Structure 1
Amino acid sequence: MKYVILTLSLLALVSCKDSKNQDLKTETAEQPAETDNHHDTHEASGIYANAWVSEIQIDYGEKWQADATTNEGVQKLQNTINTQTASTLDAFHKLAEQLNDEKNFVVKNCTMKGPSHDNLHIWLHPLIEKIDALLKTEDVDDAEKITVSIKENINAYNTYFQ
């Protein structure tokens, strides 16, 4: 099922514009039975990590030029993740829903093309997976770890884009 979600996410990202009329909220997969290795699954899939930083490139030593709408959407993501706190599972799920809506704004309104667009997707794809994991988690400790990873992911945008 993880591969189905990954494939669907990749297809949604192929072209920001092509999916303008579709709801980009990630598909809800059946929840696996709770096991003792629940956290191990997220660690193995990289949900807690930011391995994408080894894949993203810089534009000959400069930040990539992003379009104004993408910057606006990312600013909304940054404001949300940097100002909202959650301590209950319900609050984490509400945070994930808001982040998902803001991420959808970025995807739906993106007009970037070429290498800057490709690198945006290197940054964006793991964020989509993390938001999806936060939407689905049933454990507060897990939600806290995912939220930290989301915050690092979102705030790293300014390192690579202007």
Structure 2
Amino acid sequence: MKTKILILTTALFILTSCGDNKPTINKQESLEKIATENPYGLVLNQGKKWQVNPEMMQHVKSMEADIKSYADKNLSTYSELGKKLNGHIRGLTSSCTMKGQSHEELHKWLLPFIDLKKEFIQSASAEEYQVNYQKIVAAMEIFNQYFA
């Protein structure tokens, strides 16, 4: 029950914290596309990466470091990573000051990433955790291709 409340609160916070810019994400897209190139429909900023404000980027880099640090850990520690990701996502969204297309592009990545994090947290077996962990790793790689 606490997990559902946390998920709903996080989703509501994300949708309301960044102003009137509503992301245009096809919610029906399969999370299986995460391993393919650019499953989010991201575009570059005239061939360059989108700039993320330093306050937000700090949370992304901390999240990325935590994800990498769990690469060789066992199943019992994955719930710790899920909690850390929740905290980083709250920090990221609470520091959102981006506007315009850079904001929209970030949301194209962030909303599916939040769904991946939920799947990861809800994994029922070691195999499922590992598959979902790899999806999260792939999502961070995509972030780094489109954002700086």
For normalisation by structure 1, the TM-score amounts to: 0.70
Q: Secondary structure at the match of 2:113?
A: helix
Question: Quick one: structure 1 residues 58 and 75, their matched pair in 2 at CA, closer, same or farther if it must change by over 3 Å?
Answer: same
2:121 is the alignment partner of 1:135:
yes
**Superposed displacement of residue 8, structure 1:** 8.0
Match of 2:64 in 1: 78
Cα distance between partner residues in 2 of 1:96 and 1:10: 16
Ranges in structure 1 where 5+ consecutive residues have no aligned partner: 1-5, 19-43
2:26 is aligned with 1:47: no
Q: CA deviation at 1:49?
A: 3.2
Separation of aligned partners in 2, 1:17 and 1:121: 10
Residue identity opposite 1:53 in structure 2 = N
Asked if the contact 1:52–1:122 (Cα under 8 Å) also holds between the matched residues in 2, the reply is no
Output aligned runs, 1:7-156, within 5 Å. Answer: 11-17=12-18, 46-50=30-34, 53-54=38-39, 55-85=41-71, 86-88=73-75, 90-156=76-142
- Distance, in Å, in 2 between the alignment partners of 1:9 and 1:53 is 25
TM-score (norm 2): 0.76
Taking the aligned partners of 1:95 and 1:77, their CA distance within structure 2 comes to 9
- Partners of 2:136 and 2:15 in 1: how far apart? 22
- Shift of residue 48 of structure 1? 4.0
Preserved contact between residue 17 and residue 110 of structure 1 (Cα < 8 Å): yes
CA deviations on 1:46-96 (whole Å, 9 max, x unpaired) are 3343168241111111111110111111100110111223322x3112111
Total equivalences in the alignment: 131
Mapped partners of 1:69, 1:81: distance in 2: 19
Output one character per residue of 1:90-149: Cα deviation in whole Å (capped at 9) or x when no partner: 311211111111111111111111100000011111110011111111111011000011
